[in-house]
Amino acid sequence: MNISKSLYTIGLQCEKYLWLKKYKKDVIIEDKSIQSKLRQGDDVGSLACELFPDGVEVEFDKTDLDNMIQDTKKLLTMVLKISMKQVLNIMVYL
């Protein structure tokens, strides 16, 4: 099951609420301020995707959070290596 960052956060706080949010939205009565905060989280996620169109999304797997963390670390290491290489190339021309 794929879920958004907002749903992931909801699931960390309350698994039952996540299930309702995903499968039985019609029975949930939400506070307007909560809805606003969740929309803001969705907006931030959308903006991040626009800013980093070549970004890689680590798929959510509640049963294997350790693997998700490792995948994220590997991706960040790759990005840092590429960025450092670009900095060194620029320095050669200065």
For residue 16, give the DSSP letter: H
Structural domain including 77 reads 59-94
Counting the structural domains of the chain, the total is 2
Same domain, 38 and 64: no
pLDDT over 80 at 48, yes or no: yes
pLDDT tens per residue across span 68-77? 899 989 988 8
Q: Does 46 share its domain with 66?
A: no
Phi-psi region of 28 (alpha: psi -120 to 50; beta: other; left: phi over 0): beta
Q: In terms of domains, do 49 and 70 share one? A: no
Question: 51 and 65 share a domain?
Answer: no
Clarify whether residues 45 and 17 are in a common domain.
yes
Percent over 70 (pLDDT), the chain: 94
Length of the chain: 94
User: Is the pLDDT assigned to residue 94 strictly greater than 70?
Assistant: no
The single-letter code of the amino acid at 20 is L
| pLDDT mean over 54-75 | 86
For residues 12-35, average pLDDT: 84
Burial profile 57-69: b = 16 or more Cβ within 10 angstroms, e = fewer? eeebeeeeeeeee
Q: Are residues 64 and 50 in the same domain?
A: no
Reduced to 3 states, what is the DSSP secondary structure of residue 55?
Answer: coil
The answer, yes or no, to whether residue 2 has pLDDT greater than 80, is: no
Does one domain contain both 69 and 84? yes
**What pTM was estimated for this model as a whole?**
0.45
